[in-house]
Structure 1
Amino acid sequence: MTPPDALAVVVPARDEELLLPACLDAVAAAVAELGSAYPHLPVQVLVVLDACRDGSAQVVREREGVVAVTTLAGSVGVARSEGVEAAATWAAGTGRRSLWIASTDADSVVPRHWLTSHLGWAAGGLGLVVGTVEPRPGDLSAAALSAWHRRHTTADGHDHVHGANLGFTLDAYRTAGGFPLLPTHEDVGLVTAMREAGVPSLATGAVPVVTSGRRTGRAPGGFAHYLDELGA
């Protein structure tokens, strides 16, 4: 099979001026490696500025080739959905027929081989890739980090779902009905719907994303809340 002929990276951000630069540095490195493997593949990076009141917009303005999408929803489900729709509009404008969407978060750092691996799996016929995340060790106490590792596996076939490390085709996304417009667990909703629709998928530990271990987050009941419970 052939890989998708366009790729977009969607990054929701809500008041992330401090962590967004490292995220975009890592995404740029992944895009550069992808360009070496697929030199004619059009790529677009989109940051969804969701109800931002800090300098996140300025961070995006200073990045060549990164496009800002703005929403006032204050909901990560809405933000991811708006990002995907903007990516679809961009891809349609390029005249390309198939689009792969890679999803991460503004407080996360993807590995350099992230996008190249995604395209390889897509070329093999997958419509969904579900990756793992690892909290940044310095952000957690030793006890909390140990608790994290006891509860999580990074092996292939894991049962975790993180919006900070997802990839899927636009066709699969449409089939599943898109991201639920929820303030949290929108990632689980989408992946569940894709799997129920029979989208060929892979749960892999081969492309782990390092994410913030902060215990005060942007989404109610989200990843930061979970880490806070571990620390407690």
Structure 2
Amino acid sequence: MTLRLDVVVPAHDEQDRIVACLEALATAVSNLRHERPHVSVHVSVVLDGCTDDTAALVHAHADGAAWLDTLVTDHVGVGRARSLGAAHALARPVAGALVSAGRQRTDEPAVDHDDADLDQRWLAHTDADSRVAAGWLVQQLDALVSGAHVLVGAVVPDPDDLDAVVLARWQATHPPGATLGHVHGANLGIRADAYRAVGGFDPVPEHEDVRLVARARALGLRVDATTSLPVVTSGRFDGRTPGGYAEHLRRTYGDAS
């Protein structure tokens, strides 16, 4: 039976960061194929009501990249976008025709009629303003192979986005090996059958990732956490959700004044 990884990336008006995100994912895909050639891998970007050049940049990147496709929706918010992206990924066959570089439109999840192999499939999640490490997909695969139901990963803010004073404040509270204390949708993986068991992501404007992991723990599923291979995410203070990582950075570490 073929092991399969699907990556879901919600994107709402991320024209300044989406190319770096896709380039990092391309490296991770190439690395996975080199180290674990027997594994199937695909990336789906959910274009969540984009009004800037994000869609055009993703479509340009998808030309000739069989590992990448898109799903276009109205602006439904990150929780619903992750849910639609996961349904889209699970509905794709492991082999056969791929969705073309991406002008499919749907506002309802596709239906997956083959649930037999869900324990062999893994949904990895990151964000359009984030860059995964080269070994990130291998790490996600290792979690699947090891029997984990969920993998909670770490994120670090892009140092280029932070004033030196703010960066120093963050580094002071995050020494190497610091205990993982948060759940981040930018670095999260879940086995497909566990995803179904917890009911997927809630259609909420934020904290859909926290809620999903809380339900997994409540069901007694195996939730692993790692600080290895953190995802580099935007260090901006003005984010896409009112209580997301950007607001956490702003409230916790403030500005340089």
Give the direction of change, closer, same or farther, for the CA distance of 1:91–1:126 in structure 2 (3 Å limit).
farther
Structure 1 distance, partners of 2:199, 2:142, is 25
Alpha-carbon RMSD? 2.0
Out of 144, 151, 157, the position equivalent to 1:129 is: 151
Instruction: Look up the equivalent residue of 1:104 and give its one-letter code.
Output: T
Instruction: Look up the equivalent residue of 1:17 and give its one-letter code.
Output: Q
SS at match of 1:101: strand
Distance apart, 1:147 and its partner CA: 2.8
What does residue 49 of structure 1 align with? Answer: 47
More displaced, 181-190 or 215-224?
215-224
Alignment of 1:80-229 (within 5 A): 80-91=82-93, 97=117, 98-152=120-174, 155=177, 158-229=180-251
| Residues 112-169 of structure 1: per-residue CA shift (max 9 Å, x gap) | 0001111112111111110000001121122322332344466375221100000111
Structure 2 residues without counterparts, runs of 5 or longer = 97-113
Give the direction of change, closer, same or farther, for the CA distance of 1:93–1:157 in structure 2 (3 Å limit).
farther
**Contact 1:91–1:99, Cα closer than 8 Å, also in 2:** no
Distance apart, 1:214 and its partner CA: 0.9
What does residue 78 of structure 1 align with? Answer: 80
Give the direction of change, closer, same or farther, for the CA distance of 1:108–1:14 in structure 2 (3 Å limit).
same
Structure 1 residues without counterparts, runs of 5 or longer = none
More displaced, 160-169 or 39-48?
39-48
| Residues 148-192 of structure 1: per-residue CA shift (max 9 Å, x gap) | 234446637522110000011111111111111110111101111
Give the share of equivalent positions with the same residue, in percent. 43
Give the direction of change, closer, same or farther, for the CA distance of 1:125–1:153 in structure 2 (3 Å limit).
farther
Query: TM-score, normalised on structure 1?
Result: 0.92
**Contact 2:86–2:123, Cα closer than 8 Å, also in 1:** yes
Query: TM-score, normalised on structure 2?
Result: 0.83
Structure 2 distance, partners of 1:119, 1:32, is 14
Structure 2 distance, partners of 1:53, 1:209, is 26
Which structure 1 residue ranges, 4+ long, deviate > 6 Å from structure 2? 92-96
What does residue 25 of structure 1 align with? Answer: 23
Structure 1 distance, partners of 2:207, 2:245, is 9
Aligned residue pairs total 230
Structure 1 distance, partners of 2:35, 2:159, is 31
**Contact 1:156–1:203, Cα closer than 8 Å, also in 2:** no
What does residue 104 of structure 2 align with? Answer: none
Instruction: Look up the equivalent residue of 1:50 and give its one-letter code.
Output: D
SS at match of 1:32: helix
Structure 2 distance, partners of 1:120, 1:74, is 32
Highest CA radius of gyration, 1 or 2? 2
What does residue 231 of structure 1 align with? Answer: 254
SS at match of 2:92: helix
What does residue 106 of structure 2 align with? Answer: none
Instruction: Look up the equivalent residue of 1:211 and give its one-letter code.
Output: T
Out of 7, 10, 26, the position equivalent to 1:9 is: 7
